[in-house]
A and B are shown apart, each in its own frame.
Chain A
């Protein structure tokens, strides 16, 4: 079945540094990638939607200069948290959608990245 590999699974970084999170679709072409953030005991909040080869569309309240999204190919999307601060500590999950896919009805989630900023 469709698989999305997300790395790293866990990262601890110092305040002020940048962190890159990668999501790769292993056996399908991810025409659309969704990036979510989940705080403890909260639901998944959509941060942005990206289509391959075009700029990401950010949800209201999400800073595009802080959360840089690149979707340069049909199998790879990256989220870079720039100048991270402790309040950016969260669980970040990607979800890839293949146009016309039947598996999981088109949505395949990565396994998530636990980011801790100290």
Chain B
């Protein structure tokens, strides 16, 4: 059975802190790993990773995939209160490109 496990499930930090969110997986027919940010409504796309060891960056956010150890991390530096959200890791798999989501990490950034 396919699994996507995120840790920690919740995290509270102060503005300016750096956080690392983890996603480990077991999935057949792996295509890519995606990170999303979800606030009140639908998820917002952050990154898609398909190759090991290549870091993707967007401002204060970065992510990397390790296909040998089957995990990915999402880093957020100099956190701001606007980063407070649930961060979801999802695996795209199979011929139909289904997405399997992890339970998410609830990040709270306090001023």
Q: Which residues of A contact B (CB under 8 A)?
A: 6, 32, 34, 36, 41-46, 49, 51, 57, 93, 95, 97, 104-107, 109-112
Question: Residues of B with Cβ closer than 8 Å to A?
Answer: 32, 34, 41-43, 45, 48, 88, 90, 92, 96-104, 106
User: How far is the CB of A58 from the nearest CB of chain B, in Å?
Assistant: 12
User: A43-B101, A105-B34, A105-B48 in contact; A32/B96 too (CB < 8 A)?
Assistant: yes
Looking at the complex, which one of A36, A43, A49 makes contact with B103 (CB distance below 8 Å)?
A43
| Contact partners of B92 in chain A: CB under 8 A | 107
Given known pairs A42-B103, A43-B88, the reply for A110 and B98 (CB within 8 Å) is no
Instruction: Out of A32, A41, A109, name the residue touching B42 (CB < 8 Å).
Output: A109
* Residues in A whose Cβ lies below 8 Å from that of B88: 43-44
Docked pose: A32 CA to B96 CA in angstroms: 8
A46 to B101 CA separation, bound complex (whole angstroms) = 8
User: Could you tell me if A43 and B98 are in contact, using CB atoms closer than 8 angstroms?
Assistant: no
Q: Is the interface of B mostly helix, strand, loop or mixed?
A: strand
Smallest Cβ distance from A86 to chain B, in angstroms?
22
Instruction: Report the minimal beta-carbon distance from B41 to chain A, rounded to whole angstroms.
Output: 5
Complexed CA–CA distance, A97 and B45 (Å):
14
For the A-B complex with A32-B96, A93-B42, A105-B45 known, give 13 more contacts whose Cβ atoms are closer than 8 Å.
Answer: A34-B99, A43-B88, A43-B101, A44-B43, A46-B99, A46-B100, A49-B98, A97-B97, A104-B45, A105-B48, A107-B34, A107-B92, A110-B42
A contact residues around B101 at 8 Å (CB): 36, 43-46
Find out whether the CB atom of B48 lies under 8 angstroms from the CB atom of A46: no
Q: How long is the Cα–Cα vector from A51 to B96 in the complex, in angstroms? A: 9
B98 to A46, Cβ gap below 8 A?
A: yes
A45: chain B residues within 8 A (beta carbon): 101
Q: Which residues of the other chain, B, contact A6 by a CB distance below 8 angstroms?
A: 42
